[in-house]
Structure 1
Amino acid sequence: MSSTVAQNYSTSHFLCQSAAPKQTDSAEEIVIPRKKTWDKLAVLQALAATVNRDHTAVHYQFQDDPYLIPRTSPEFRLYALSRGSGCNAAKYIVNTYPHLFQKDFAEPSIPCLLPEQLEPLINEISVDALKERIRLRKVRASVDLYDQLMQAGTPVPLEIGNTLLDLLCVYGDKEPPREDQLEPREAEDEGEVTADFQKKQRGRPRKASDLLSVTWRVDNNAERIFSLMPERNEHSFCTMIRGMMKYGAYTKAMNMYTDLLNNRMKADVYTFNALISAVPELKEMYNERVDLILELLKQMAEQKVQPNLLTFNSALKSLRKCGSIAKGLSLQIINEMKYLNIEPSLATFDHLLAIFYKPAAASRPHTDIIFEVFDEIEGTHFEPQDPDDVNFFISAMRLCLDLKDLELAYRLHKILETGNNWMLLGDSYQQSIYYGRFFNILCMMESIDVVLKWYKTLIPSLYYPNVQGVKDLLQALDTENQLHLIPNIWKDIRKLGHSNKQDLVEEVLELMGRDKHSPELQVTFADCALDIKAAYKREQFRNIQWTATSLGNVTVLLLRGGRIQDAWGMLQLFKTNNRVPGKELLDEFLDHAKESNNKALALDLVKLAGAFSLPATSELFDWVMKEFELTDEEKRSLEDLDATSSDSSGSDQE
């Protein structure tokens, strides 16, 4: 961070006093290798560096089959899920029926694509059979065989027992889900959750993810085997602690950690990482959480356990739930990482920004931190080191959007495009969130020419905009008075599958019909209105219906574009859909009839108003009698219609 921050929060090295910084020797001998060892992908990486991304093409994962190239946002998600389902189906066939794939015709042979050995080959009751079942991740079979060995009096080596504990604690004493199958849901697991989880979830609706994540049952096989082991070492205790932490038994894990210390053992760095991550679940008060984090870090120093990147990231992640008192400690942790020559990852900066920027905070945020973070990481090539690395870019772009800082958004996007940092953007869902926020701030603060340039760059190769993204673009067009581009945007709306979104379609019609434009543009708008009318006809049995506003806008657009018959047909739709045309729409028709001296249109309009029993029928009658020369027969028919309309109005008032 900056020198000012370093002065305010000097490095005290109280976190890990036993760890010494790496020393560099100025007289280090330079050894020139005799040959260069190239990466296996070096040639492919060199070829990939010679081409640029095609902005007009879709994502590379859909290039294998042109027929399956998605053209809409729903299709993108559907095809991506279908592709993954196809891969899982293929794995299921290969692994379930391996005897059908004994012959290997592949040249060269690729072992990872061959059928896996899923069934054990050793059927006798022995330690080797137990090792084989553990290697195959057969949880229940491994537990049964372990019990048989114990009943037979066969000693199980400590190393094998620890490996079995690893298997049980990783999968929560359940059969691991195969890649080609969904995770099994056991009904009995749902009722046997820990007391810690019940306390945590009290007063909150239970989610499916909660039921899947908490499966640590009381007195399960892991606890039973741990208690039956004739001897236990640090590996045994650490495995149990991490398993309990993973599946929500936080209090039990802390008690197990106390037993580890009482047995004069020390935990490894991964166990400390798990303990630090679970601090918000162990303590309620902010100051208690901070004190526990500091205590665990000091215990690491006392036990001479060297921290790693995930240690500091776990501390920062827990500090996110410690309120404003975590700000000073978080900067000390960053300084401690520098002292130990531990390079931060993107998750480190994501946690740091979250500590200083609280969405619901009433006080003014510390806006300097985000600038210092960007100064620190600009031009840096990051590699994935923490599962939370993928959260940085979407969170940082949200901050840019909240701060309404366009320059910061550009800087962040430049960092994303540095090296292979784009690979840390996450899955397709997270990519959509990032580009949606980036496009939102562009539409809000950038000129329309630049917005359209980015629009062509991002869509459809990287981003399928949702309804809000399209609305942002329409708002930018309205602000810059570039409404003539709306017909082209409507074509994209259809391609993106948003033509069935009622509010979006009505906004398009509202922008086109709000003001009058040149005759050429009005003709273009009329053609677009006809296309929208066809979309209503296609979607009328789904989730899009005619409203008085949409009917009026389409009618006005057709009328201004010179399509009189189509506009008159839209007036008939008012009655079909139980809608009443507004006075502004009737005035628009009357003005057109006057300009074109179309007496027949004026008469038909008065008759239509009478058919709707509109209060403005008498006013229309007087206007037509004044503006046009009518025959006696036409006057009598209008007078009869006016009298009928007046009687209907009077009866309605009574």
Structure 2
Amino acid sequence: MFRISRMKYKNGSNGIVQNLFARQSTATAKKTTESANESQRIVIPKKIDRGPTDLLYTLSKTVGRDPTAAHYKYHDDPYLIPTSLYNRDQYALSKESGKQTAQWIKQQHAKLFNSKDAKPPIEAFFPKPVYTDESEVDLKCLEDSVESLNVCDAILIYRLLTAKNVTVPDELKQNILELVCFYNHKDPIPFDMFEARGSAEASKRSRDAKPDVWVENSFADQLFQSIEPKTPAAYNTMIRGLYKFSSLERAEELYNEANEKKIPLDLATYNSFIRNINKPGVTAEMRWEQIKITLGDINKRQLKPNVKTLNAILATIKAGGNIHSIIDYAVQTMAEFQALNIEPSLETYAHLLDIFHGKQSPPSNVIYQIVERIEKNPNLIAQGPDDLTFFYKAMVVCRFRLRNSASLARRIDNIVTHSDNIKFLGDAQQEQFYYRYFLTTILHNETFAEFIRTYDQLVPETYSLEPSVADDIFSTINITGTIQHVPKFWTDIVISGISKRSQLNDSILALMTTNQPLADVKEHDGLVDQFAEIAWTIYQNAMNDQFASARKEELIPATRLANIVILLLQANRHQNARTIVESCLEQQKDKRIIGCLTDEALSAFIDSCVVNKEPRIAIQCVAYSIENGVGDAIQFGRKIVQSFTLETNEIKRITDLVGQDVLKSAQKSTE
């Protein structure tokens, strides 16, 4: 680093000199100054091209990343920062929808946005040219469309030019062919639409997603046929495009045709071929032999394999077969590429995890070797889109394939949080999966206090709590007895938007009912009231949930309501408990409620009725007990007779339900 200061030369002129921050003697400094004055020559360093955000990026490095802060894209209004995964997606997509709306308005009212007062003009602010079959076009229009990645416009302009017998240069033809083959005749999602692109990639990974297949007899096929003589670049482009969009038969046909005509193929085409050796009926041994033949062809072409060749081989050999043979092939492959001094990428490591730590793989410590290797140089460089799968897969291995793997999980997370490596977690969905398995690994392998410290750094800003993780947390609380943390996690459940999940509600209600707060434990102060409030909130959510049918959770088990009643009565909230019990009674039963209240809940409520002097509802509970076979109806009746001064009609109702013996036994006990 250096400091710029202004000095005055002997001749009176001003000059700029650089003062280095280094220790030097006075004599050395004086000598340097005299030398500079003698030469009076200024050496201007070469310009370094910097992006518009390079300075901000450098400044951010000095403060590091705050895991408790929300992502910058949510910072428009602190009161609107989303905390649930669904709301985050909707928030981010809505912002991009606003951008798309602005683009649409700009296109629809293009005449209003043609001012070019800015110098230099900013092309992004101008409307996109609109081409039709009647448009007057030239080669410059075609070149601009290709450069701007406007695939559909480039196809239309090319056809208009060929209809007018305009000769398109071969180089431009090749550029169009590459553009069309790469995007399969469709305009790509704009680069700055990050959320839309992430959503599209996530939909491709879903089970129901339909593959983006090659358009048969398409413009690309016609353009390829029009290129005479056929160039190696044209063959390479077509083969890669066909392989990318799953037209395997046509791709293999062109691949064999190129080999027969001795047309040189490039390394990227060979890599695509290796990735698509997998066919129905092809065994692991056959795939391995074909890989070796292809590597021999690469060697004959005097091409040097790269990391993408390595990844293509690993992706192919892991496709199926005997696991021991697959491991043997992977070991041979890694040894060969290590001899070529080819550094593995994160995608390479992801494939190795699939091979050495798969469901059928024998125990292995390969993941430890991988993490140790990455730790030596944690400044990661992206090599391809599949690099984004490594950290998620590594955390899955820690969670399900290893024992006592919390220390390894933390080492992996330290790599993720180093510098800007967090970008390698991928889109929001993959990031959610990564932190799900990271937290559950810590939960099952470290103390609950250590888990809490890690949890507080991630929830809710970085990770949105999920039902499966919350259920694991409550199971751990039930084992450790740390029920003082229940209100904290319930708050996060509400914030994360999962407070209406039936199974999760049943878990937390069972936990609170089973583990009653103790009066002599300081940490349990106020828990009774907090538990009751949580229970009442769960009841209100269930009764007012308009989307329960969409989740197939419209039915409400009475056992859930029984736990709610018990928790409410522990906090002396009789009226709330009465509301629930009345909804369960046969005379006023809500059709959504299935099953019966438990003995414990019914008994506790009748006791509460005695305290609050409500004989009528207590007698209805006796009838409910008889009709549903719940609790000891005779004991309930005896308690009512002994505790209340009943009217004639109430006595008659009791005797009709449980018989005259209850009155006699009550009189004897009174005497």
Alignment TM class, shorter chain as reference: 0.7 to 0.9
Question: 1:89: how far off?
Answer: 2.7
Instruction: Return the alpha-carbon distance in structure 1 between the equivalents of residues 266 and 373 of structure 2.
Output: 31
Question: 1:413: how far off?
Answer: 0.9
- Matching residue within 584, 587, 604 for 2:600: 584
Q: 2:533 corresponds to which letter in structure 1?
A: D
Structure 2 residue aligned with 1:493: 493
Deviations 1:347-387 (A, max 9, x none): 1110111122222x1xx524221111111111421111111
Structure 2 residue aligned with 1:6: none
Instruction: Return the alpha-carbon distance in structure 1 between the equivalents of residues 413 and 628 of structure 2.
Output: 58
User: Which secondary structure state, in structure 1, belongs to the residue aligned with residue 423 of structure 2?
Assistant: helix
User: Which secondary structure state, in structure 2, belongs to the residue aligned with residue 279 of structure 1?
Assistant: coil
Structure 2 residue aligned with 1:447: 447
- Matching residue within 609, 613, 626 for 2:622: 609
Instruction: Return the alpha-carbon distance in structure 2 between the equivalents of residues 98 and 633 of structure 1.
Output: 85
Question: 1:85: how far off?
Answer: 2.0
Structure 2 residue aligned with 1:224: 222
Structure 1 residue aligned with 2:579: 569
Deviations 1:214-266 (A, max 9, x none): 1231x433333333433122112112211221222222222222222232321
Structure 1 residue aligned with 2:569: 559
Question: 1:606: how far off?
Answer: 4.4
Instruction: Return the alpha-carbon distance in structure 2 between the equivalents of residues 383 and 343 of structure 1.
Output: 11
Question: 1:48: how far off?
Answer: 0.6
TM-score by length of 2: 0.77
RMSD: 3.6
Question: 1:66: how far off?
Answer: 3.1
1:290·1:326 contact (CA, 8 Å) conserved in 2?
A: no
Question: 1:296: how far off?
Answer: 1.0
Question: 1:333: how far off?
Answer: 2.6
- Matching residue within 235, 238, 244 for 1:237: 235
Instruction: Return the alpha-carbon distance in structure 2 between the equivalents of residues 37 and 69 of structure 1.
Output: 38
Structure 1 residue aligned with 2:530: 524
1:587-598 aligned within 5 A: 587-589=603-605, 598=611
Question: 1:73: how far off?
Answer: 2.7
Question: 1:288: how far off?
Answer: 1.3
1:32-181 aligned within 5 A: 37=48, 39-40=50-51, 41-94=53-106, 97-103=109-115, 111=122, 113-115=124-126, 117-119=128-130, 131=143, 134-135=146-147, 137=151, 138-145=153-160, 147-148=162-163, 152=165, 156-172=168-184, 174-177=185-188, 179=190
Q: 2:392 corresponds to which letter in structure 1?
A: I
Deviations 1:441-472 (A, max 9, x none): 22222211112112210012211122112212
1:509-520 aligned within 5 A: 509-519=509-519, 520=525
- Is 1:641 the counterpart of 2:630? The answer is no
Q: 1:57 corresponds to which letter in structure 2?
A: A
Q: 1:555 corresponds to which letter in structure 2?
A: V
Question: 1:415: how far off?
Answer: 1.6
Distance 1:255 1:51, change over 3 A: same
Deviations 1:270-306 (A, max 9, x none): 1111111111148622111111111111110111012
Distance 1:66 1:628, change over 3 A: same
- Is 1:534 the counterpart of 2:540? The answer is yes
Q: 2:542 corresponds to which letter in structure 1?
A: Y
Instruction: Return the alpha-carbon distance in structure 2 between the equivalents of residues 169 and 574 of structure 1.
Output: 65
Question: 1:518: how far off?
Answer: 2.4
Instruction: Return the alpha-carbon distance in structure 2 between the equivalents of residues 628 and 161 of structure 1.
Output: 98
Greater Cα offset, 601-610 or 515-524: 601-610
Instruction: Return the alpha-carbon distance in structure 1 between the equivalents of residues 481 and 631 of structure 2.
Output: 39
Structure 2 residue aligned with 1:214: 213
User: Which secondary structure state, in structure 2, belongs to the residue aligned with residue 539 of structure 1?
Assistant: coil
- Is 1:407 the counterpart of 2:407? The answer is yes
Greater Cα offset, 68-77 or 532-541: 532-541
Structure 2 residue aligned with 1:370: 367
Greater Cα offset, 514-523 or 325-334: 514-523
Question: 1:318: how far off?
Answer: 1.4
2:596·2:630 contact (CA, 8 Å) conserved in 1?
A: no
1:228-627 aligned within 5 A: 228-281=226-279, 284-323=282-321, 324=323, 325-359=325-359, 361=360, 365-379=362-376, 380-402=378-400, 403-404=402-403, 405-519=405-519, 520=525, 521-539=527-545, 542-543=548-549, 546-575=556-585, 576-577=589-590, 580-589=596-605, 598=611, 600=613, 605-610=618-623, 613-614=626-627, 619-622=632-635, 625=638
Q: 2:490 corresponds to which letter in structure 1?
A: W
1:398·1:437 contact (CA, 8 Å) conserved in 2?
A: yes
Distance 1:377 1:57, change over 3 A: closer
Greater Cα offset, 566-575 or 382-391: 566-575
Question: 1:430: how far off?
Answer: 0.7
Greater Cα offset, 130-139 or 43-52: 130-139
Greater Cα offset, 262-271 or 598-607: 598-607
Q: Determine which structure has greater relative contact order: mean sequence separation of CA pairs < 8 Å that are 6+ residues apart, divided by chain length.
A: 1
Q: 2:541 corresponds to which letter in structure 1?
A: A
User: Which secondary structure state, in structure 1, belongs to the residue aligned with residue 499 of structure 2?
Assistant: coil
Deviations 1:101-140 (A, max 9, x none): 233677x968464336535799668766655565553343
Question: 1:207: how far off?
Answer: 4.8
User: Which secondary structure state, in structure 2, belongs to the residue aligned with residue 230 of structure 1?
Assistant: coil
Instruction: Return the alpha-carbon distance in structure 1 between the equivalents of residues 59 and 70 of structure 2.
Output: 20
1:347·1:391 contact (CA, 8 Å) conserved in 2?
A: yes
Instruction: Return the alpha-carbon distance in structure 1 between the equivalents of residues 105 and 645 of structure 2.
Output: 87
Instruction: Return the alpha-carbon distance in structure 2 between the equivalents of residues 619 and 588 of structure 1.
Output: 13
Instruction: Return the alpha-carbon distance in structure 2 between the equivalents of residues 231 and 369 of structure 1.
Output: 50
Question: 1:486: how far off?
Answer: 1.3
User: Which secondary structure state, in structure 1, belongs to the residue aligned with residue 63 of structure 2?
Assistant: coil
Instruction: Return the alpha-carbon distance in structure 2 between the equivalents of residues 607 and 445 of structure 1.
Output: 51
User: Which secondary structure state, in structure 1, belongs to the residue aligned with residue 62 of structure 2?
Assistant: coil
2:513·2:567 contact (CA, 8 Å) conserved in 1?
A: yes
Distance 1:180 1:584, change over 3 A: same
Q: Name stretches of at least 5 consecutive residues in structure 1 with no aligned partner.
A: 1-32, 183-204, 648-654
Q: 1:148 corresponds to which letter in structure 2?
A: A
1:242·1:271 contact (CA, 8 Å) conserved in 2?
A: yes
Q: 1:307 corresponds to which letter in structure 2?
A: P
Question: 1:639: how far off?
Answer: 6.5
2:277·2:287 contact (CA, 8 Å) conserved in 1?
A: yes
Greater Cα offset, 292-301 or 510-519: 510-519
Deviations 1:620-642 (A, max 9, x none): 44466479856886799546523
2:615·2:644 contact (CA, 8 Å) conserved in 1?
A: no
Distance 1:559 1:369, change over 3 A: same
Question: 1:499: how far off?
Answer: 1.8
Instruction: Return the alpha-carbon distance in structure 2 between the equivalents of residues 220 and 640 of structure 1.
Output: 85
Distance 1:622 1:223, change over 3 A: closer
Instruction: Return the alpha-carbon distance in structure 1 between the equivalents of residues 276 and 47 of structure 2.
Output: 45
TM-score by length of 1: 0.79
